[in-house]
Amino acid sequence: MPEGLQKSANNFKERSGKHKGILDPINAARQFQLNRYLPSAGLAPFVEHYWIIHWDLRGQPPYVSQVLPYPSVNVAFSADRVWITGVATGMYEYTVEGVGLIVGAMFKPGGFYAFWQRPIATLTDKTLEAIKVFPGATDGFRQALLELPDDTRRVSRVEELLSAQHPTSDRNVAFINSIIEAVASDRDLRTVERVARQFHVSERTLQHLFQKYVGVGLKWVIMRYRLIDAAERAARLPKPNWAAIAAELGYGDQAHFINDFRNMIGKSPLQYMQSIHS
C-alpha cells in the first residue's frame, strides 16, 4: 500500500468511533464495527472516505441498521453483490446477519459526477450495478477484495479500481462542498436564499448545480443536516430540550421541526429518544 494512503487510513481510523448518521448508534456499535479511512491525495477531490463494516452475529438474531444518509453516492462490495446507491431521500435500512463484512466508498457530494458524467439526480433513490460504471468491479474482483486479510489492503484495492477510471477534477465539486461544509457548521445558513447571498450566486444556479452534481436540492441538504444533528443529540443527551433544539436548528416553531423529524425517521423526537434509550 502507498505510504500516503497508509498514513491517512490510520489517522482517519482514530477519528472514526462515532457512528454519524446511524440511528440508534449505541446499539449499532454493539452489533457491528464500523471503520472509516481517508482516500489518497489523488482521489481526495472525489471520495469522502472508505467505510468497512465487520460483524459477527452468529447465534444472534439479524440486526436492521437504520441510517440517515448524507447527500452522497456510495459504492459497496458485499458477499452477494457490488452496487452503487444514489442519494437516498428517506431513511436507509440494511440487515446484517451471521458473520461478514461490507467494503464501501462514500463519494463527496458531487464527487461521483466525475465517474458518471450524467446528472446525479438520475440516480437519486436508485441502485445500479457497479460494473456499469466500473468495468473492473466483477464478481472475481469482489471475491478477491473480501478475502484480503486486512482493511488497509481492501482500501488500497478499491482505490485501484476507482483510479483506473482517471477521474478529472471539477471546480464545481469543490464549490458545492464548500457550501455543504458551511451549511453543516453554520446554523444561520437556514435557507437557500441565505446561502445564495453568502456565496454570491443566484438561487437558480444553486438549484441547477445541486441537481446536476449532488442529486438533490440544497433545501433538502439543509434539512438533512438539521435532522442528523437532532438525531445525534437525542442519542447523546438524556433529556433534550426539543423546543430549544428546534430553535437552534433554525425552525420557526417546534411543531414544524417535529413534523420533519417524524416524516424522515418515522417517529417523533420523543419516541425516537425513548426507543434508543430503552
Q: What secondary structure does DSSP assign to 49-82, as a single string?
A: EEEEEEEE-TTS--EEEEE---S--EEEE-SS-E
Q: Does residue 29 share a domain with residue 13?
A: yes
Q: Which residue has better confidence, 4 or 57?
A: 57
Q: What is the pLDDT of residues 193-203, one digit of tens each?
A: 999 999 999 99
Q: Does residue 67 share a domain with residue 200?
A: no
Q: Does the pLDDT of residue 44 top 80, yes or no?
A: yes
Q: Does residue 134 share a domain with residue 22?
A: yes
Determine the pLDDT at residue 124.
97
Q: Does the pLDDT of residue 4 top 60, yes or no?
A: no
Written as one letter, the residue type at 68 is L
Q: Does the pLDDT of residue 56 top 90, yes or no?
A: yes
Q: Does residue 214 share a domain with residue 85?
A: no
* Kind plus residue range of the DSSP H or E element containing 100: strand 99-107
Q: What is the pLDDT of residues 64-112, one digit of tens each?
A: 888 888 899 999 999 999 999 999 988 888 899 999 999 999 999 999 9
Containing structural domain, residue 128 = 3-163
Q: What is the mean pLDDT of the chain?
A: 88
Q: What is the pLDDT of residues 212-258, one digit of tens each?
A: 999 999 999 998 888 888 888 777 777 888 888 888 887 888 888 88
Percent of the residues in the chain that have a pLDDT greater than 70, as a whole number: 92
Q: Does residue 139 share a domain with residue 24?
A: yes
- Pick from 134, 163, 192: which residue ends a domain? 163
Number of domains in the chain: 2
Q: Does the pLDDT of residue 23 top 70, yes or no?
A: yes
Determine the pLDDT at residue 74.
97
Q: Does residue 51 share a domain with residue 139?
A: yes
Q: Does residue 48 share a domain with residue 146?
A: yes
- Pick from 163, 191, 223: which residue ends a domain? 163
Give dist(CA 52, CA 81) in Å, integer. Answer: 15
CA 252 to chain centre: 27
Q: Does residue 261 share a domain with residue 130?
A: no
Say which residue the cell 446525479 belongs to.
Answer: 120
For residue 12, name the pLDDT band (cuts at 50, 70, 90). Answer: very low
- Mean pLDDT along residues 138-157: 97
Q: Specify the 3-state DSSP secondary structure of 268.
A: coil
- The pTM of this model reads 0.87
Sheet holding 33-37, edge to edge: 33-37, 47-56, 99-107, 74-77, 82-85, 127-129
> What is the number of residues in the chain?
278
Q: What is the pLDDT of residues 157-190, one digit of tens each?
A: 999 999 999 999 999 999 999 999 999 888 788 8
Q: Does residue 187 share a domain with residue 220?
A: yes
Q: Does residue 206 share a domain with residue 158?
A: no
- Pick from 139, 163, 187: which residue ends a domain? 163
- Cα-based distances in Å from 175 to 57, 192, 214, 237, 266: 42, 15, 12, 34, 33
Residue 112 neighbours by CB distance under 10 Å: 29
Residue 4 neighbours by CB distance under 10 Å: 13
**β-strand partners of 105:** 50, 75
Written as one letter, the residue type at 161 is L
Give dist(CA 146, CA 139) in Å, integer. Answer: 11
- Mean pLDDT along residues 130-156: 97
Determine the pLDDT at residue 20.
63
Q: Does residue 140 share a domain with residue 46?
A: yes
Q: Does residue 211 share a domain with residue 149?
A: no
Q: 249, 123, 135: which is closest to 185 by C-alpha?
A: 249
Cα-based torsion angle of the residue sequence 119, 191, 259, 121 in order, rounded to the nearest 10 degrees: 0
